[in-house]
Amino acid sequence: MIGDGVRGVFRQALSPTFLFILLGSAMLWYVSKLGNNYDTEMPLNIRIDGQKYRLTANVSGRGSTILAQRLSLKSRLNFTLDELVSRPSRDNPGSLTITPVSLQRAINGKISDLTVVEVTKAPDFVPAEVEDNKPDTPK
């Protein structure tokens, strides 16, 4: 008896009209929140002279733009070493360290809707001719 009364209340509360209005209001709230500006940390996929890297950058922009960039997982930013400032790596002989500021400027030039505030750590770049001369290491 009590179970039938509770089921009846839930059946009325979860009517299709109520669910439609609830879904519509949630979508409107979400869209309005995506219109605000946010600062967040975002992983980026880049390619330097054909070599793939994943780095983390602090970005600023509209929520909808940040969401769109995060959802486009296959998008890669392509650069050549000539576009970036590099110096010999202290940790890895034969490789180059890309300066974070040059990477930040280059990314800002390719992504117009977002502003890269900071690249937290730039990758070490191993030129192809150095990579070809490395001895094979056992795995």
Longest dimension (CA), the chain: 81
Asked whether residue 139 is domain-assigned, the answer is no
Q: What are phi and psi of 38, to 5 degrees?
A: -135, 155
Asked whether residue 136 is domain-assigned, the answer is no
Asked whether residue 63 is domain-assigned, the answer is yes
Q: Are 62 and 19 in the same domain?
A: no
pTM recorded for the entire structure: 0.67
Instruction: Print the domain residue range for 13.
Output: 2-32
Residues of the chain with pLDDT under 70: 1-6, 13, 73-75, 128-139
Q: Are 71 and 28 in the same domain?
A: no
Q: Are 116 and 49 in the same domain?
A: yes
Q: Are 82 and 59 in the same domain?
A: yes
- Number of domains the chain contains: 2
Alpha carbons within 13 angstroms on the beta-carbon side of residue 12 total 5
Q: Are 120 and 100 in the same domain?
A: yes
Q: What is the pLDDT of residue 59?
A: 93
Q: What is the pLDDT of residue 1?
A: 54
Asked whether residue 75 is domain-assigned, the answer is yes
Alpha carbons within 13 angstroms on the beta-carbon side of residue 21 total 6
Q: What is the pLDDT of residue 75?
A: 65
Is 97 in contact with 89 (CB distance < 8 Å)? yes
Q: Are 20 and 79 in the same domain?
A: no
Q: Are 28 and 92 in the same domain?
A: no
Is 45 in contact with 70 (CB distance < 8 Å)? no
The H or E element containing residue 129 is helix 128-133
Q: Are 75 and 102 in the same domain?
A: yes
Nearest to 118 by CA among 58, 50, 56, 35: 58
